[in-house]
Structure 1
């Protein structure tokens, strides 16, 4: 890796580290936070569904900002928006606010995250191409996932412990503080490289053009289309399972106020992210096609969740949770590289944001549906149902494979260590 590409990678890893650390302070206790505010299981996961609805609603408009005003601008707006909406969440908890208020602020949280989705990854890929990086994308994206996993491990575990020794609101305030610090870091370090924004004086026309480009470069491109159609099942299930594991593990543990145990679920997922990111390049070299990895991990993940739904032993649940998280984490960099190799620089942030939109749309349906299932049948069966839903992604992944895209077998020179 040359010096310029190495610098880009280090900035990307720094932004990933800080952003994930900030976000993850609440990931281990978010569901407990909502339930403590007086919401039912259905209302708590419906609030999460409004969050994902916000992501669906704003993905395209924020894609206009990323492609029209710059990926740096998008990142900076994301830190401010997410910090403000997180503080509003804290105020709602203090006031025991009605559900409609949680729904509104959850949409704003979704808006905050859409400024990041697609923009940071597009910034990285374009900058690496500009600096003549010759390695494979799985290597850098895998490193990013490892750094994100470490940050998530620290943040989620710390959030659970801090909540237990103080209260459930403090981790939300910590998130606000770190996000504002990341605004300063990005302002100083991040520059759009290898990409020239195309600004428009007509936002509605720009939004329409971006949506058209997303469809033309995404849904009208068969191998990309099928990857996107698989996303609502995989992403929707992933969002629900991550947050449902908190109360599920507390039930098995037998202490409803052991918030550090709830944080343990997020910490395990974070550790799996590190290992999965490390394994991804090796896993990719062991198979000829990227879709082989995607099909195998999606099928295995669904079956593991079904098994998790029928266990009643705490340590067995932790083991299955670890296996599920490892399988899904190993697939993420491979999926990212496969998708990026099928889209052009000009529409990269747009298409990646549209892909995120597709995944979020699954969360809108899966979260309240499974939340209701948890109310009626309990968390274990809701997790088993989630595993079945995950398996619906497999036929779409197989359809993408049958299109024989060159990106499915793309390789690059072996990368040098960081």
Structure 2
């Protein structure tokens, strides 16, 4: 059996390698499409295709991970991402970029839950169902944030020193990082059991048998979210987070372009501001367990962190009235507070979710959560962008702040978690306790 410390290290490594490719492509992606002839409407179509694929595939892929295993699904995600990134690096018109975006969306949907579900299962196997999830989840979230920070800075600087097709260089680097992820997943993620059977199936079973199990797993995950009021409220928080995150990512580049007056300097400023936010995300993830102790529990700490995020988004909205370097610095400070607070709230919310979900539904519920986040992002694109055009960026960010603040109410009087029956470890401990009584 793998030790909890070994599982924690491997989970952190996998999280780092999972988030390094999107970090590397964050800065050059839009510019690459622009220099290869796509207009803003076509670029928007490419982004919309990515979100649409995730929304459609999120639940089926989560159920698939619960049926055939986390390692298989995450390895396939890495392989698909390699193909998508190579396609993007070579694309020269809208259709190849659309294909690349679809492939990346498939990879994102496949990878949204398996690694975390694998870690929680490994920790429960090593320490039992009452094991403290916070330290390992914090290390994993920190590793992902560090990867995004390094990737964003590297992806923004590589085109300055590369020759030839400079904007494609970070994309090729991201494809290479995905290959490393594929190899690492195959080596570092031994599975001792699957959620629905208690043990890894002999040869994963026949494809037809597996696919028959997926819809049932999905229905179970959705039913759990509807019948467990506490879990349903925790999942709704993700919609507000999606509205907020997409709102600031959608509107900040234009705001910085207005402050700097040039697209290239705006891109550099955005890379720095984003890197600061990701660094704060890493620090917040590490601090989350301590914040929970100081606040007297995970629920109280999540509420306080959510209030901090709402205040920081409101400060970002207020900074829309500033000009020049003062405006850029204000945006950077707001980003630090937003991402630090959001990382604390998200990690503690994840812990609260896991304590309500049995192993057999864990990856599915993680996919439901990711789906909620994407749904919030879609709402943000539909509502906040027109609001910004009509009333200004500051008004749109103020609306996002109000939504985040309102989501803090979902934690108030959160119902106590039910025993996660369906998880063999929990059932075994419950039976043993009953027999001792």
TM-score normalised by length of structure 2: 0.83
Aligned equivalent of 1:347: 361
Tell me whether 144-153 or 130-139 shows the greater mean CA deviation: 130-139
C-alpha deviation, 1:73, in angstroms: 0.2
- Give the whole-Å Cα distance in 2 for the aligned partners of 1:217 and 1:244: 36
Q: Structure 2: where are the runs of 5+ without partners?
A: 419-437
Aligned equivalent of 1:319: 333
| Superposition RMSD in Å | 2.7
- Give the whole-Å Cα distance in 2 for the aligned partners of 1:247 and 1:37: 21
| Native 8 Å contact 1:304 1:387 kept in 2 | no
**1:69-148 → structure 2 map (5 Å cutoff):** 69-92=68-91, 95=92, 97-98=93-94, 102-132=97-127, 136-148=132-144
| Native 8 Å contact 1:49 1:368 kept in 2 | no
- Give the whole-Å Cα distance in 2 for the aligned partners of 1:44 and 1:315: 29
| Native 8 Å contact 2:305 2:342 kept in 1 | yes
C-alpha deviation, 1:126, in angstroms: 0.5
| Native 8 Å contact 1:240 1:363 kept in 2 | yes
- Give the whole-Å Cα distance in 2 for the aligned partners of 1:139 and 1:28: 31
C-alpha deviation, 1:71, in angstroms: 0.3
C-alpha deviation, 1:396, in angstroms: 4.8
Q: 1:370 to 1:163 in 2, by over 3 A?
A: farther
Tell me whether 191-200 or 69-78 shows the greater mean CA deviation: 191-200
Matched position secondary structure for 1:25 = helix
| Native 8 Å contact 2:25 2:171 kept in 1 | yes
C-alpha deviation, 1:176, in angstroms: 0.5
Q: 2:152 aligns with which of 126, 151, 156?
A: 156
Q: 2:310 aligns with which of 283, 302, 317?
A: 302
**1:1-400 → structure 2 map (5 Å cutoff):** 4-39=3-38, 43-92=42-91, 95=92, 97-98=93-94, 102-132=97-127, 136-166=132-162, 167-195=166-194, 196-197=199-200, 201-202=208-209, 205-242=212-249, 244-258=251-265, 259-309=267-317, 310=320, 311-312=322-323, 313-373=327-387, 376=389, 381-382=392-393, 384-400=395-411
C-alpha deviation, 1:181, in angstroms: 1.7
1 or 2 for the larger relative contact order (CA 8 Å, sep ≥6)? Answer: 1
C-alpha deviation, 1:156, in angstroms: 0.8
Tell me whether 104-113 or 202-211 shows the greater mean CA deviation: 202-211
- Give the whole-Å Cα distance in 2 for the aligned partners of 1:104 and 1:371: 25
Looking at CA atoms only, which structure, 1 or 2, has the larger radius of gyration?
Answer: 2
Q: Structure 1: where are the runs of 5+ without partners?
A: 408-418
Deviations 1:251-282 (Å, cap 9, x if unpaired)? Answer: 32333213433321221122112210121011
| Native 8 Å contact 1:279 1:330 kept in 2 | yes
